[in-house]
Amino acid sequence: MKIFISHSSKNKIYGEKLVELIRSLGVKENEIIFTSNIAYGIPVGQNIFNWLKSQISENPFVIYLLSEEYYESIACLNEMGAAWIIENKHAAIFIPNFDLSSKEFQSGVLDPREIGFYINDEDRILSFVQLLSYYFEITKNTVLISQSVKKLIEEINNIENAKVLVQPISKIKPIEIQAGVRLELESTTNNAFLEKDSLYNKFLSSITSKKMKDDELILLHYLIETGTLKLKKGWQEHIQVSNIKEWEKINDINDILSSNYLGVLNRYELRGFTKISAVTSSNNPKEVIIKDEISQNLLDLPKEVIEIVQEAVKRNYFEHVEEINKDDDSLPF
């Protein structure tokens, strides 16, 4: 049996802390499925949806890391539904401040009467550890268990405190120093936090404002469908184009992407959505990768964005022309 942590990528940091706790208790690396970390995630070259489906069908112990963002994610709700149908053993863990009276939680497939708990509830986490011990080989050292749980609680509380610190106190506020004299006070928002967030927002804005062409949207569809994050270029470009052509053929999509692959890739690079991940011996780029700020959110795209991508795909479906049966002697009129 494995542990599958079903979560929104926007709550990745809480999932990482859970993984650290579980690993510290003795659960093996290959017994954990956590898609926000490549060490516990999808093998290279696998279709992400098919892979997740196969993992869920193997009856893992599912940890639902529930939050407002979880219920806003179509991918998360699909995971929940698939696991619920198979009746996996599971535990519901809430991120801090999750509203248990929310309509989404009360009307979801998980029975709200079942006992769940907040991730920073020390006593309940200890009970959760005991539950895990029924299915996995974990340490019986009570001191180590206590230390690991206390470390988790401390780190979760630090995360919550940090959230308060990065909240924008204000935009630019005028302060009266004395009559006739004014100073401008800059917002105390954490600039690094905003910078990271802004690339993903720029990515979404490029789609919703219709700045992306169909071939760029279809590349995004290709990335999501195939679970691909790395794209070949330079002398390896023909390999990537060949893969895309096969994908287009299988999915009945026009060759709009494969025929203009380099142009599409260049536009992604110019927009700052990719970075070089491998170079040749001559230091020429041979591979690029979608930046983390974007890739970690690809399974949690807003509904509006998903619809725009799907419309682009529909516009470029290959129309099959019915062939006239050459053996048919009847006249065409």
Q: How many CB atoms neighbour CB 64 within 10 A?
A: 23
Would you state the structure tokens that stand for residue 289, as one six-digit string? 């990768």
Residue environment code for 261-281, b if the CB has 16+ CB neighbours within 10 A, otherwise e = beebbebbbeeebbeeeeeee
* DSSP-assigned letters across all residues of 112-139: TTS--EETT-HHHHHHHHHHHHTTS---
- Find all residues with CB under 8 Å of 186, minimum gap 6, and list them: 172
What is the rounded end-to-end Cα distance, in angstroms, of the chain?
Answer: 65
Backbone angles phi, psi at 65, to 5 degrees: -90, 90
b/e code 178-209 from CB counts within 10 Å (16+ = b): eeeeeeeeeeeeeeeeeeeeebbeebbebbee
d(CA 297, CA 44): 18
Based on its alpha-carbon atoms, the radius of gyration of the chain, rounded to whole angstroms, reads 25
How far apart CA 44 and CA 24 sit, in angstroms, is 26
Sign (positive/negative) of CA torsion 68, 73, 74, 79? negative
Task: Count Cβ atoms within 10 A of the Cβ of residue 107 and give its class: 0-12 exposed, 13-18 middle, 19 or more buried.
Answer: exposed
**Among all residues, which ones are annotated catalytic?**
79
